[in-house]
Amino acid sequence: MKPVLCLSLALLASCASYQATREVSFATVAGGGCGGDGQVLVRAQVANATENSIVLTDPGDSTSSMAVRLPGRGVVARLKGVVGTNKYEESHEVLTRLKADGSPVTVTLDCKGNTAPTARNLSYTDPDGSRSSISF
């Protein structure tokens, strides 16, 4: 009986801590940050992209922008880059294309306090009309 009670309490605790990702306006995040810990969705356009960060702009106001960090590359990704094209190089190519096209993107941001948000996922529409995404 004790193991069942412990398992039930653990399951209840994990459900109570879940927070859904919410969509927030670009102006809110660019002006005041993410607003605490958790994940938020933002609609934007790619203004610039490097292997370490993305600069996003508000689709409705191109003068409003914010920088977003990309998660660091691991040792395996660096080794794969020596042998062939890795995920980060391919992602950079896609981001460069999205910038040139002016395509809208939806970015899932991971917020931790007052630090710059980290991109976890970026979804967009391909030229053929299909939806695609990059997970970081």
Q: Note the pTM of the prediction, 2 decimals.
A: 0.75
In a domain, 97, yes or no: yes
Tell me the three-class secondary structure of the chain, residue by residue. Answer: CHHHHHHHHHHHHHHHCCCCCEECCHHHHHHHCCCCCEEEEEEEEEEEECCCEEEEEECCEEEEEEEEECCCCCHHHHHHHHHCCCHHHHHHHHHHHHHHHCCEEEEEEEECCCCCCEEEEEEEECCCCCEEEEEC
Number of domains in the chain: 1
CATH number for the domain that contains residue 78: 2.40.50.320
In a domain, 3, yes or no: no
The pair of three-digit structure tokens given for residue 131, joined into one six-digit string? 């939806």
Q: What is the pLDDT of residue 65?
A: 93
Q: At what angle do helices 75-83 and 87-101 cross, to 10 degrees?
A: 80
Domain that holds residue 105: 20-135
Q: What is the pLDDT of residue 9?
A: 47
In a domain, 5, yes or no: no
Q: What is the pLDDT of residue 6?
A: 45
In a domain, 10, yes or no: no
In a domain, 57, yes or no: yes
Q: What is the pLDDT of residue 54?
A: 94
In a domain, 12, yes or no: no
Mean pLDDT by 10 residues, the chain (136 residues): 50 55 87 79 94 91 90 60 69 93 94 85 94 91
pLDDT tens, 4-37? 544 454 544 454 556 677 888 999 888 877 767 7
The distance in angstroms from the start CA to the end CA of the chain is 42
Q: What is the pLDDT of residue 30?
A: 86
